[in-house]
């Protein structure tokens, strides 16, 4: 993209991203596609990387973290099969982009991020853009946010080595949890559904997320 690209050019890039990288790659849920056509992904990446915001890759957002690639955001969101009235938990706010996508498709979103400065920055951006059904918490989300649960759906965007049982506990009966599990390059995306208190597990695709880590990283520490 050239310098001085106007705002409207991003909407063209965004439509192309959805057509080629999301729909073209097999995510066909219309509500997900519409949400991703709407959310200004370039505002969730560092200013110097805006020209790459609609490329099909993850991008650095500081603190050694990344905004997920568009396809994975679309796929995870579609796997949740949201109908519009769910209370959703996202673990790993990062840039806030996926929280914004989820906010279009659910009644309310609680998103938790362990790197406090990222949580603060995302909360501010989501607020400025008017996503008023999203609440961001700065905390270790590996144990969920029990005080705001139970949840109809949970999306985990950092990779644990095994299913964090407390997240499954905070899922309502009939609810859906989507998360990567694994280590390093060996990660698989899974969907868990809670039926009669038991987990019904489906394997989705190989994926690559940052690891889920313990503890809160405060604003005055180096992440």
Q: How far is CA 96 from CA 7, 68, 100, 161, 189, in A?
A: 20, 10, 6, 23, 20
Both tokens of residue 21?
């990288």
Applying CB under 6 A, among 32, 53, 112, 126 the residue interacting with ligand SAH is 112
How far is the C-alpha of 140 from the C-alpha of 137, rounded, in Å?
9
Determine if 187 is a binding residue for ligand SAH (CB under 6 A): no
> What is the CA angle 172-175-176, rounded to 5?
135
Determine if 68 is a binding residue for ligand SAH (CB under 6 A): yes
Residue 71: which of 84, 60, 57 has the closest Cα?
57
Both tokens of residue 168?
């499954």
Q: Answer yes or no: 204 catalytic.
A: no
Residue pointed to by tokens 């506990």: 169
Nearer to ligand SAH, 13 or 91 (CB): 91
List 68, 95, 103, 108, catalytic entry: 68
Determine if 66 is a binding residue for ligand SAH (CB under 6 A): yes
Determine if 102 is a binding residue for ligand SAH (CB under 6 A): no
Determine if 114 is a binding residue for ligand SAH (CB under 6 A): yes
Question: Among the candidate windows 22-30, 95-103, 170-178, 195-203, which touches ligand SAH by CB under 6 A?
Answer: 95-103
How far is the C-alpha of 74 from the C-alpha of 7, rounded, in Å?
23
Determine if 115 is a binding residue for ligand SAH (CB under 6 A): yes
Catalytic residue list: 68
Q: Which residues bind ligand SAH (CB under 6 A)?
A: 65-68, 91-92, 94-95, 97-98, 112-115, 118, 140-142, 157-158, 210, 212-213
């Amino acid at each position: 993209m050239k310098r001085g690209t106007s705002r409207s050019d991003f909407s063209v890039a965004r439509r192309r991203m959805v057509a080629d990288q999301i729909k073209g790659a097999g995510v066909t849920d219309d509500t997900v596609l519409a949400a991703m056509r709407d959310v200004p992904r370039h505002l969730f990446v560092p200013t110097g990387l805006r020209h790459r915001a609609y490329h099909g890759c993850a991008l650095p957002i500081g603190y050694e973290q990344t905004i997920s690639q568009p396809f994975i955001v679309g796929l995870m969101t579609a796997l949740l099969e949201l109908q519009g009235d769910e209370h959703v938990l996202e673990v790993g706010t990062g840039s806030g982009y996926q929280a914004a996508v989820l906010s279009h498709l659910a009644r309310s979103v609680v998103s938790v991020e362990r790197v406090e400065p990222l949580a603060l920055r995302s909360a501010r951006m989501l607020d400025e853009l008017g996503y008023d059904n999203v609440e961001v918490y700065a905390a270790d989300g590996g144990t969920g946010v029990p005080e705001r649960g139970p949840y109809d759906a949970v999306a985990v965007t950092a990779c644990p080595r095994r299913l964090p049982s407390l997240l499954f506990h905070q899922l309502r009966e009939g609810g859906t949890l989507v998360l990567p599990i694994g280590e390093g390059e060996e990660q698989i995306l899974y969907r868990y559904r809670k039926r009669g208190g038991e987990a019904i597990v489906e394997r989705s695709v190989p994926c690559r997320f940052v690891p889920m880590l313990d503890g809160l990283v405060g604003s005055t520490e180096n992440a």
